Amino acid sequence: MTAAASPAGVHTHAEILSQPSCWKECLQSLDATDQLRLTCERFPGRQDWVFVGCGTSYYIALAAAASWTHLTGLRARAVPASEILLYPELLSCDPAIIQPVLISRSGHTSEVLKAAEYLELKANVRTLAISCATHQPLEEISTATLHLLPADEKSTVMTRSFTSMLLGLQALAAAYGKQPLFAESLRKLPGHTAPLVQSLEDRIQEFVHAGLYADYVFLGQGPYFGLANEAMLKIKEMSCSYAQCFHALEFRHGPKAIVSPETLVTCLLSEAAYEAEREVLQEMKGLGATTMVITNRADETARRAANFLIELNLEGPEYSRLAAFALPGQLLGYFTGIAKGFDPDRPRNLSRVVILNNNS
């Protein structure tokens, strides 16, 4: 007799809903092990921070780089690991000022490992890794590693590992930039977000059941651009839907030609650029798009322009709330996948870790 197969998406669903408690555990672990202080002491005086990843980890890098500059005032950028391998001359590798941060849930991603080897062995640059696993190859190559072990997942698709590694890097930025009040806001985020999860789940499930779309577009600026990219990837991975991502104002410059009632345009409205982004939302609504809005608090204009509005109503600085903005996109991808008959735990054509052969 064989064991019954698990229901479709059971692990992904549980991991999405577990995020507030996972964040709390990860932040407590960082405090208990003193990893943040030790890391700051190990890499003093770096002026050029480079966050490196592949796929979801690259989208973490985008949001982490924006957070790093905001919190420390230092130069920071995100680079796909493949760029370091194929165009190393485009990356300034002055060991005195550059600080690469290598992001990998498993610590086994081939391109990240090769980037680590290039930086450590050829460029003589000391690297910092962040991972949700221990005793893995990336840890062996890198000079130091931040561990967020509670965030590891059974699923192929990254959900809580995305938000937890972003929070971990934001906590490191707060420590490096001597921003204790921001660090405290991060510690409060799990408790503030936990009451929202059930409502988000119910409302997004109801929205998906009302209808699916031919095109999914995600718009975000600044620190939200990485989050918008990640939402785009979740809808692709879990539901095999066609999806695109743009900086919000860039969508006007040609891409808006695709807009129709069969296009779901999701706008992540920030506080810093709220009015400009809201104008894009209004324009897309006027062109006939179906609109979904994710924001902390909406005004009446945004409410009228939104077919589906999600307000998080969280306290604290804007950057401290970024992880919570990822939840709606994850749930949208999950419920769209279920509605289309896919199993989000077993996405088509994907594996949990991308491992290339030695000739790649």
Q: Are residues 173 and 219 in the same domain?
A: no
Total tally of structural domains belonging to the chain: 2
Interatomic CA distance for residues 306 and 103, integer angstroms: 35
27 domain-assigned: yes
The per-residue pLDDT for 360 is 43
Taking the C-alpha atoms of 3, 7, 11 and 16 in order, what is their torsion angle to the nearest 10 degrees? -170
Average pLDDT over residues 139-151: 97
Q: Which of these, 317, 339, 314, 338, lies nearest to 327 by C-alpha position?
A: 314
Q: Are residues 33 and 106 in the same domain?
A: yes
CATH number for the domain that contains residue 297: 3.40.50.10490
Q: Are residues 49 and 138 in the same domain?
A: yes
Which pLDDT tens digit goes with each residue over 189-233?
Answer: 999 999 999 999 999 999 999 999 999 999 999 999 999 999 999
Examine the pLDDT at 334 and tell me if it is beyond 90: yes
Q: Are residues 199 and 124 in the same domain?
A: no
Q: Are residues 29 and 171 in the same domain?
A: yes
The per-residue pLDDT for 350 is 58
The per-residue pLDDT for 117 is 96
Domain C-terminal end among 137, 154, 178: 178
Interatomic CA distance for residues 306 and 290, integer angstroms: 8
Task: Give the residue numbers spanning the domain of 55.
Answer: 10-178
61 domain-assigned: yes
Tell me the pLDDT of the chain averaged across its residues. 94
Which pLDDT tens digit goes with each residue over 305-333?
Answer: 999 999 999 999 999 999 999 999 999 99
5 domain-assigned: no
Q: Are residues 103 and 158 in the same domain?
A: yes
Q: Are residues 18 and 164 in the same domain?
A: yes
Q: Are residues 70 and 210 in the same domain?
A: no
Interatomic CA distance for residues 300 and 298, integer angstroms: 7
Q: Are residues 300 and 172 in the same domain?
A: no
Q: Are residues 65 and 149 in the same domain?
A: yes
- CB–CB of 305/291 below 8 Å? yes
Which pLDDT tens digit goes with each residue over 157-178?
Answer: 999 999 999 999 999 999 999 9
Phi (first) and psi of residue 66, to 5 degrees: -60, -45
Which pLDDT tens digit goes with each residue over 241-279?
Answer: 999 999 999 999 999 999 999 999 999 999 999 999 999
Examine the pLDDT at 5 and tell me if it is beyond 90: no
Please spell the DSSP secondary structure of 1-17, one letter per residue: -PPPPPPTTHHHHHHHH
- CB–CB of 320/170 below 8 Å? yes
321 domain-assigned: yes
103 domain-assigned: yes
The per-residue pLDDT for 91 is 87
257 domain-assigned: yes
Interatomic CA distance for residues 291 and 272, integer angstroms: 21
Q: Are residues 164 and 230 in the same domain?
A: no
Cα 190 to Cα 20, 267, 321, 341, distances in angstroms: 4, 24, 10, 32
357 domain-assigned: no
Q: Is 105 helix (H, G, I), strand (E, B) or coil?
A: coil
Sequence-distant (≥ 6) Cβ neighbours of residue 280 within 8 angstroms: 219, 248, 249, 251, 252, 267
